[in-house]
Amino acid sequence: MTKQEYIDEADKVLLHTYNRFQIVLNKGDGVNLYDIEGKKYLDFATGIAVFALGYNNKEYNDALKEQIDKLIHTSNLYYNVPAIDAASKVAKSTGLDRVFFTNSGTEAIEGAIKLARKYAFLKDGNTDHEIIAMEHSFHGRSMGALSVTGNPHYQEAFKPLIGGVKFAKFNDLESVKELVTDKTCAIIFEPVQGEGGIYPATEEFMQGVRKICDENDILMICDEVQCGMGRTGKMFACENYNIKPDIMAVAKALGCGIPVGAFAAKENVASAMVPGDHGTTYGGNPLACAAVSKVFDMFEEHKILDNVNEVGAYLASKLDEIVEEFQCVTARRGMGLIQGIVLTKPVGDVVKKCIENGLLVISAGSDVLRMVPPLIISKKDVDDMIEILKKSL
């Protein structure tokens, strides 16, 4: 089939929930993707911050092939070795105590919300507890995750959502304090807002929210789905602020391509959940957890965080030069290898031009060009990206 035939067939049989770009991807290698016509694309999108270790990584692929030959799936009614290994590594890395594996970041947020509400219910027996979330946040598209997503456009057609959610201004500590009541059970936010426009939290905000939670027995939930797993130069973005949340949601690069997420919690919080409170058929299956376990091993063995810090600083400096050179680029925001530049030109037009020129980037918010490349990129890859970006701008 030709490219157009594939696209026509997709438009017939797939639910139209994405405005897809007119390319049909076929294979990947390293930091590059190739379409069915053989055109090469330098990938600074990585499936939206997923493929941290790059494409066609033999070490990663071999670990999955080995697990496929052993056991792909079994029910959570039984133990399996990859899930135990993976949970131990997630717990050690997050500094939290107990882990629940999901299939996605959205499901991890759902679990975090349920855990927070159950914890509060056990304290006073009430079911009218409230959650404070942030404006311009993004936590997912299922009904619970959508309820704490601070974008009315995503919500309006699906109301009523779950109740008891209030929205504060991100990086505005006073706006959080104004919403706290004796019914507040949790405060949820992304340490670096992704879809909202690549906004890192300030030190004052992170420390302030932690203090509010400690003083009022409120749970702090950090959504590390996009900004976690090394992308900011620390394994999790909250580490940049010397903060440990009570509950953390992770996904995307957790499995580096295999659909898997997780939420982790401190022991006193996690113990609120008992058999029957939560469950999943596929979450924590041996194949997904073999991927998680291998990802953690490779992060350590290949010193991925060192590369993020070195190349991330180089990327930031090169993007700062773009801000100086182009009038249509007004600012850069980000940490490590989650970066964005603010445009006065329509961001969608720039994304399309980049694709034409062999570069995959994505938007964030209404005016930000987002860059979330593989964490293995080199300075040479950054130089190649900058050359294409300049041409596209």
Q: Distances from the Cα of 372 to the Cαs of 42, 52, 116, 206, 329, in angstroms?
A: 12, 9, 30, 23, 18
Give me the half-sphere count of Cα atoms (radius 13 Å) on the Cβ side of residue 360. 26
Domain 3-57+303-392 has CATH 3.90.1150.10: yes
pLDDT value, residue 365: 87
At residue 29, what are phi and psi to the nearest 5 degrees? -155, 120
pLDDT value, residue 162: 94
d(CA 134, CA 194): 12
Strands (E) located in the chain: 25-29, 32-35, 40-43, 98-102, 130-134, 165-168, 184-189, 192-193, 199-200, 219-223, 247-250, 261-265, 329-335, 338-343, 359-360, 362-364, 368-371
Residues 15, 17, 21, 25, CA torsion sign: negative
d(CA 33, CA 189): 32
Per-residue pLDDT in tens (0 to 9) along the chain, 393 residues: 999 999 999 999 999 999 999 999 999 999 999 999 999 999 999 999 999 999 999 999 999 999 999 999 999 999 999 999 999 999 999 999 999 999 999 999 999 999 999 999 999 999 999 999 999 999 999 999 999 999 999 999 999 999 999 999 999 999 999 999 999 999 999 999 999 999 999 999 999 999 999 999 999 999 999 999 999 999 999 999 999 999 999 999 999 999 999 999 999 999 999 999 999 999 999 999 999 999 999 999 999 999 999 999 999 999 999 999 999 999 999 999 999 999 999 999 999 999 999 999 999 989 999 999 999 999 999 999 999 999 999
Question: For residue 302, what are its two tokens?
Answer: 């290949």
**Count of Cβ atoms closer than 10 Å to residue 65 Cβ:** 11
Q: 299 and 290 in contact (C-beta within 8 Å)?
A: no
Which CATH number is correct for 71-301, 3.40.640.10, 3.90.1150.10, 3.40.50.1820, 3.10.290.10?
Answer: 3.40.640.10
| Helices and strands, number each (H, E), in the chain | 14, 17
Total-model pTM: 0.96
Domain ranges (residues) in the chain: 3-57+303-392, 71-301
d(CA 8, CA 350): 25
At residue 257, what are phi and psi to the nearest 5 degrees? 125, -35
Helix-strand-coil split of the chain, %, nearest 5? 40, 20, 40
Question: For residue 116, what are its two tokens?
Answer: 């927070």
